[in-house]
Amino acid sequence: MPLLGYKQTEEHRRKMSEANKGRLLSEEHRRKIGLSNMGHIVTKETRRKLSKANKGQIVSEEHKRKLSEFNKGKTLSLETKRNSCNSM
């Protein structure tokens, strides 16, 4: 029986969520997900919702260090630098 148009019950959705928690995806699978999202335009409303959801989250010192290491040595384009200056 195809599930198209069928609404899963809350209990079933919870069970599916629990079953998939902690599941590791292969590197190839992650790459394919990234490629499918590439070029996807996010609306201003969605960006606002994401911003609101992420506000107030506490980031660990280790995570900050990893972000810092990742971004070190990156050269910013002239346009990016200009936008950064104008936003302040």
CA–CA distance, 16 with 10 (Å, rounded to integer): 10
- What is the distance between the alpha carbons of residues 48 and 45, in angstroms, rounded to a whole number? 5
Per-residue pLDDT of the chain (88 residues; tens, 9 = 90+): 577 888 999 999 999 999 999 999 999 999 999 999 999 899 999 999 999 999 999 999 999 999 999 999 999 999 999 999 998 8
